[in-house]
């Protein structure tokens, strides 16, 4: 698996010559952008990304996704997993459609997206490509049209409206993607990772400080899955190129941000609910991973 990770900052630097791909991007802030697919004189590098990207592709070309290569000759909706490297090479200059990209802060910053985190969307085991018939193409194009128009408008509720349209596309993707890889058809490492991932996400969102996080470490998950922790770690790393602990920490940080934003729990309650016995431990964890203290993060969110 490619070790190269393209960030949003890398992306905008790489495409700085394309006016339609410019965006107001600031590290740590919620970000969304959408562009027309009309520039086809370059090859998308074979990288993993630290941001979400959804493409409506109308045109011919070659996809390389992980270890698989596929020729595209009809409209598709493409929803790649973050940890799987991919590239796209156009076969002709006749390309249409859209692509939108957004970061974890945008995806985590709305309760409308919470249900999708427990589905196969953006997961390493799922099929990222959905071929579209004429009716499906018309339906999904309308939502991309709306997002593109809203993104270039001065509408006061622009962000909320964009999220509604994006959520509609994700619902359609789940409805149409009937050919996802079944659990019994997967390699052992993928099955193990999928079971871990589903177990991790089922714990969230947290509803009350009275019910703290139950599974907090790689060992906790291994015990629940009745496997040795080394086997779990090896399986997760082989599929995602990340450690079990890294994935747990990423999810805990995401939930911490949600609780700071959407609840009135104090910082000590949030830390305890997430498995930190001492408030200082939670403060240190949050500051190290979010580059800001929990209180300052909450204050910044309240001022938006």
What's the domain range around 251? 183-302
Mean predicted confidence (pLDDT) in 140-148:
97
77 and 201 co-located in one domain: no
Percent share of the chain, pLDDT over 70: 90
HEC profile of 178-215: CCCCCHHHCCHHHHHHHHHHHHHHHCCCCCCCCCCCCC
pLDDT score of 59 more than 90: yes
pLDDT score of 67 more than 50: yes
165 and 36 co-located in one domain: yes
Would you place residue 71 in the very low, low, confident or very high pLDDT band (cuts 50, 70, 90)?
Answer: very high
Report the pLDDT value the prediction gives residue 226, as an integer from 0 to 100: 93
| CATH number (domain holding residue 223) | 1.10.10.60
Average pLDDT, the chain: 87
171 and 253 co-located in one domain: no
Report the pLDDT value the prediction gives residue 137, as an integer from 0 to 100: 97
104 and 140 co-located in one domain: yes
262 and 278 co-located in one domain: yes
43 and 82 co-located in one domain: yes
pLDDT score of 253 more than 50: yes
| CATH number (domain holding residue 13) | 2.60.120.280
Neighbours of 253 (CB within 10 A): 18
**Separation of alpha carbons 208 and 218, rounded Å:** 23
105 and 41 co-located in one domain: yes
Would you place residue 74 in the very low, low, confident or very high pLDDT band (cuts 50, 70, 90)?
Answer: very high
163 and 30 co-located in one domain: yes
Task: State how many domains the chain has.
Answer: 2
Chain centroid, CA 18 distance in Å: 24
Domain end marker among 156, 176, 196 = 176
Q: What is the pLDDT of residues 277-299, one digit of tens each?
A: 999 999 999 999 999 999 999 98
Report the pLDDT value the prediction gives residue 39, as an integer from 0 to 100: 63
Report the pLDDT value the prediction gives residue 181, as an integer from 0 to 100: 47
Report the pLDDT value the prediction gives residue 3, as an integer from 0 to 100: 56
Domain end marker among 129, 157, 176 = 176
pLDDT score of 182 more than 50: no
Report the pLDDT value the prediction gives residue 183, as an integer from 0 to 100: 43
pLDDT score of 234 more than 90: yes
96 and 206 co-located in one domain: no
Burial of 204 (0-12, 13-18, 19+ CB in 10 A): middle
Mean predicted confidence (pLDDT) in 108-132:
84
Mean predicted confidence (pLDDT) in 139-144:
98
201 and 147 co-located in one domain: no
Would you place residue 18 in the very low, low, confident or very high pLDDT band (cuts 50, 70, 90)?
Answer: low
Mean predicted confidence (pLDDT) in 28-43:
80
Report the pLDDT value the prediction gives residue 75, as an integer from 0 to 100: 97
Chain centroid, CA 137 distance in Å: 23
Burial of 10 (0-12, 13-18, 19+ CB in 10 A): middle
Report the pLDDT value the prediction gives residue 12, as an integer from 0 to 100: 84
- Greater confidence (168 vs 105) lies with 168
Report the pLDDT value the prediction gives residue 271, as an integer from 0 to 100: 96
pLDDT score of 2 more than 50: no
Helices (H), 77-180: 104-108, 134-151, 158-176
21 and 144 co-located in one domain: yes
44 and 165 co-located in one domain: yes
Domain end marker among 176, 194, 227 = 176
């Amino acid at each position: 698996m490619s070790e190269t990770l393209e960030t949003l900052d890398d992306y905008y630097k790489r495409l700085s010559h394309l006016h339609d791909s410019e965006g107001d991007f600031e590290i740590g802030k919620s970000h969304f952008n959408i562009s027309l697919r009309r520039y086809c004189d370059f090859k998308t590098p074979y990288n993993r990304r630290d941001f979400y990207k959804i493409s409506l592709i109308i045109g011919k070309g070659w996809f390389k996704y992980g270890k698989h290569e596929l020729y595209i000759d009809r409209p598709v909706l493409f929803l790649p997993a973050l940890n799987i490297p991919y590239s796209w090479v156009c076969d002709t200059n006749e390309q249409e459609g859209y692509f939108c990209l957004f970061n974890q802060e945008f995806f985590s910053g709305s309760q409308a997206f919470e249900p999708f985190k427990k589905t196969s969307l953006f997961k390493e085991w799922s099929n990222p490509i959905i071929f579209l018939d004429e009716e499906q193409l018309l339906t999904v194009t309308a939502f991309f049209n709306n997002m593109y128009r809203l993104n270039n408008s001065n509408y006061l509720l622009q962000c909320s409206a964009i999220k509604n349209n994006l959520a509609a596309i994700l619902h359609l993707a789940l409805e149409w993607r009937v050919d996802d890889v079944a659990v019994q058809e997967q390699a052992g490492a993928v099955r193990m990772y999928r079971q871990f991932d589903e177990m991790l996400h089922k714990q969230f969102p947290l509803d009350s400080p009275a019910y703290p996080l139950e599974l907090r470490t790689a060992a906790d998950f291994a015990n629940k899955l009745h496997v040795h922790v080394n086997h779990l770690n090896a399986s997760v790393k082989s599929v995602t190129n990340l450690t079990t602990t890294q994935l747990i920490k990423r999810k805990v940080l995401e939930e911490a941000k949600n609780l700071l934003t959407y609840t009135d729990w104090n910082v000590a309650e949030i830390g305890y609910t997430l498995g930190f016995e001492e408030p200082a431990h939670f403060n240190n964890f949050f500051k190290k991973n979010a580059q800001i203290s929990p209180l300052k993060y909450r204050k910044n969110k309240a001022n938006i």
